[in-house]
Structures are given as C-alpha cells and as structure tokens.
Amino acid sequence: MAFTNEQIERYSRHIILKEVGAKGQKKLLNAKVLIIGAGGLGAPVAMYLAAAGVGTIGIADADEVDLSNLQRQIVHQTADVGKPKVQSAKETMEAMNPDVKVITYHEFISSENILDIIKDYDFIIDGTDNFPAKFLINDACVMAKKPFCHAGIIRFQGQLMTYVPGKGPCYRCVFKNPPPKDAVPTCKQAGVIGAMGGVIGSLQAMEAVKYILGVGDLLTGYLLTYDALKMQFRKIKLPADTHNCAVCGDHPTITELIDYEQAECDGTGL
Amino acid sequence: MAEYNITDSIDITDVNCPITFVKAKIALEELDDGDILSIRLNDGEPVQNVPKSIKEEGHEVLSLTENGDGTYQLIVKKVGD
C-alpha cells in the first residue's frame, strides 16, 4: 500500500517521528481498535484514534446523546442530542478522517455478545462508567487473550491501567469483585469535571497507539491515578503475582462471563 | 552521479518543509540496506534541512551537487532496514 500525497501530508507529523515512520503509520492504518462506551472517555479516544488514522474503529454504546452529556463528551454536538451516541461518534470520526472505517454497535455489551464483538479487534478501550461492564470487559479480554486499557473517572479523579495477556496483572487481579451496589456513587450522582475524560481518555488513546506501533512502555503492571485538584499523577506499581487471580491466574475459578447487577441509575458510556 | 548505482530517484522540488523530508523518508523506508536513493531538491530550506534530517535517521549522505538550475542532487545510502 503506497501513501497518497494527501496521506503523506495528513500523517507527516507521525511519519517524521523515528518511532513511527511510514511503517508505523501503515500499522495504524491496518489496526482495529474497539471503543466500548461513547462517552466522556470514549469521545477523546475516538477522536484521537480517528485523527491518527487507525484504519478500523469499532464503537459500542446503547445510549442516545443527552444534553447533559455535552459538558464532557466532545465527540457529540448539540445538534446530535437524541441521536444514538455510536452514530454521532461515527459521523464525527468520519468527518475528521475519511481513511477511517467506523463500525457501530448500538447495544449494551453483555456476556452474550462481548466475545463476538471483541474477537476481530487488536486492542480494546474500556470507556464505560459502571463496574459490571468493567469486570465483563476484563474477563472477556482475559479469556479471549485481548489487550485492553481500563479507565475510570469521577469528580476530579481518574485512573487507568493496561492489560496485555501474559504481561502483568488484569483488572480483577487488582479489584477482585465489583463493590456492593450503591456503595460507590456513579458519575451521574457524583459529577465529573469535563476535562477529566480528555486527560484520561487521551492517555488511553496513547496506550492504544503505542501498542499498535510496538514502541515504548505500556501501563502494564501499573495503575496511573490522576488527582486534578492536587494536580498529582501517581504511578502505582501493582503486585506482579497473578497466579491466584480468579480469572487470569493459574487455576481460574471464573471460567464463564458474569453479568453483574447494575445500580439502577447506571448507563454505559460515561 | 554515474559513479553510484542508483536504486530509486525522487523529486521533492514540488513540496515544502516538512513534506520534503517526509517524502525522502518514505522512499528510504521502502529500500533495503545499502540501496542508493537520489533526491532532487530545491536550494534554501530543503537543502539545509533534508540532508541533516536524513543523517539524523542514521543514513549516509554520499554527495550533494548543484544542478545549476537552483536545485540540488542529493545521493543517500540507506543504512539498516
């Protein structure tokens, strides 16, 4: 595949980089990334991956754009209110970069459909806003041997970690089980500062790009936390021992996907 | 130029910085270790920057000669794959 003059110009700032080059840009154009949740986190991920020329981007979300989303979900515009989020995100990504093929999944992910959805993708982004979805994504990615980047945001705080099969702990190694229902407020109840999705989602996009290019160190074996009020990042080393994990350990006790009960006011796509 | 066994030639006189270097870099990436690329480039910014950037990438600049029409011919040997 040879670049067109337009592609040379569009991706010039990538191609100039020693770590990317023409070969790296071709890797991006041939890559397939799935974003689960077209909300506060998924929005910047979708936009940066589309701009970067990730050739195939899948996006899953069952919700429609709500006026209250627009304070942070920058992939959607005021005129998109009422439209399926995946459709609105697809339109934005395609308008940004015609090289990108966007595949939409206008449905809730569940134990029934997740393995079938993730199977064609190279890297998965967890941009969801609830624990049942986060554990489901983790377990499915462990079982299907797919790398993914977890993230969560609330109020002025955010966190992320990356899982690559065989390269360190999974989400369940760290957070054994979902917290009891209603023990933790959702974003809807607690609020979230808009730019938090931009900070953490952009870091998720960076992890996906680095994974595709095969450059640098990923956030495997670490949890990165960000406290915006204290303006503090912490990179916390996670225990390397994964042997006893219920899903990725040597003798997993979780061998089937679980649909945990969701707090009533939850929805996907923070 | 006759003394070099040119593998491929490109003309980057129709583009501006940084596309000049980007086009040279793409052409070099498609070559094998030891292949020779001939590049026609404009005087001024291109001739100041392109050979320097190519050297920074680890390739070998074999010669730079004036064509007499405001353009230069840059001969580069690809190093590495």
CATH number, domain at B19? 3.30.110.40
B62 lies in some domain: yes
Q: Give residue A152's pLDDT.
A: 97
- Asked whether the beta carbons of A46 and A92 are under 8 A apart, the reply is yes
In this structure, what is the dihedral angle of CA atoms A48, A51, A55, A59, given to the nearest 10 degrees? Answer: 40
3-state secondary structure B19-78: HHHHHHHHHHHCCCCCCEEEEEEECCHHHHHHHHHHHHCCCEEEEEEECCCCEEEEEEEC
Backbone torsion region of residue A231, taken as left when φ is above 0, otherwise alpha when ψ lies between -120 and 50, otherwise beta = left
Q: Does residue A269 register a pLDDT over 50?
A: no
What value does the mean pLDDT of chain B take? Answer: 94
A255 lies in some domain: no
Range of the domain at A57: 31-237
Residues on B contacting A at a C-beta cutoff of 8 Å: 18-19, 21-23, 25-26, 29-30, 57
Q: Does residue A189 register a pLDDT over 90?
A: no
b/e map A169-202, b = 16+ CB within 10 Å: bbbbbebeebeeeeeeebbeeeebbebbbbbbbe
Distance of CA A202 to the CA centre of its chain: 10
Q: Which residues pair with A25 in a beta bridge?
A: none
Nearest-CB residue to A8 (from B19, B29, B57): B19
Could you report the per-residue pLDDT of B39-62, keeping only the tens digit for each? 999 999 999 999 999 999 999 999
A139 lies in some domain: yes
Highest mean pLDDT: which range of A261-265, B2-6, B46-50: B46-50
Q: Which residues pair with B64 in a beta bridge?
A: B74
Q: Give residue B37's pLDDT.
A: 98
A257 lies in some domain: no
Could you report the per-residue pLDDT of A192-204, keeping only the tens digit for each? 999 999 999 999 9
Nearest-CB residue to A18 (from B21, B23, B57): B57
Compare A39 and A263 and report the one with higher pLDDT. A39
- Asked whether the beta carbons of A146 and A123 are under 8 A apart, the reply is yes
Q: Give residue A263's pLDDT.
A: 64
Q: Give residue A265's pLDDT.
A: 52
A8 lies in some domain: no
Identify residue A34 by its one-letter amino acid code: L
A128 lies in some domain: yes
A217 lies in some domain: yes
d(CA A101, CA A106): 16
Q: Give residue A267's pLDDT.
A: 47
Count of CB atoms situated within 10 Å of the CB of A100 = 20
Q: Does residue A165 register a pLDDT over 80?
A: yes
Tokens of A102: 């966007």
B1 lies in some domain: no
What value does the mean pLDDT of chain A take? Answer: 95
B65 lies in some domain: yes
d(CA A35, CA A149): 10
Mean pLDDT for A58-87 is 98
B64 lies in some domain: yes
Mean pLDDT for A20-44 is 98
Is A225 strand, coil or helix? strand
CATH, residue A134 = 3.40.50.720
Nearest-CB residue to B22 (from A8, A18, A23): A8
Q: Give residue B6's pLDDT.
A: 95
DSSP A219: S
Range of the domain at B34: 8-77
Confidence of residue B2 (pLDDT cuts 50, 70, 90): low
Q: Give residue B76's pLDDT.
A: 98
Are B21 and A18 a contacting pair at CB < 8 A?
no
B2 lies in some domain: no
Compare A186 and B73 and report the one with higher pLDDT. B73
A248 lies in some domain: no
Confidence of residue A180 (pLDDT cuts 50, 70, 90): confident
Query: With contacts defined as CB-CB under 8 Å, which chain B residues touch A16?
Result: 18, 21-22, 25
Could you report the per-residue pLDDT of A96-119, keeping only the tens digit for each? 999 999 999 999 999 999 999 999
Per the structure, how many domains does chain B have?
A: 1
Comparing C-alpha atoms, which of A45, A71, A197 is closest to residue A123?
A45
Mean pLDDT for B11-16 is 96
Q: Give residue A185's pLDDT.
A: 76
- State how far residue B22 is from chain A, nearest Cα, in angstroms: 6
Helix ranges (H only) for chain A are 5-10, 12-15, 21-30, 42-52, 85-96, 114-118, 131-144, 171-174, 187-190, 194-213
Could you report the per-residue pLDDT of A221-242, keeping only the tens digit for each? 999 999 999 999 999 999 988 9
Per the structure, how many domains does chain A have?
A: 1
A24 lies in some domain: no
Mean pLDDT for A43-68 is 98
Please confirm, yes or no, whether B19 is among the known catalytic residues: no
A238's CB contacts (< 8 A; 6+ apart) are: A161, A168, A169, A173, A174, A221, A222, A223
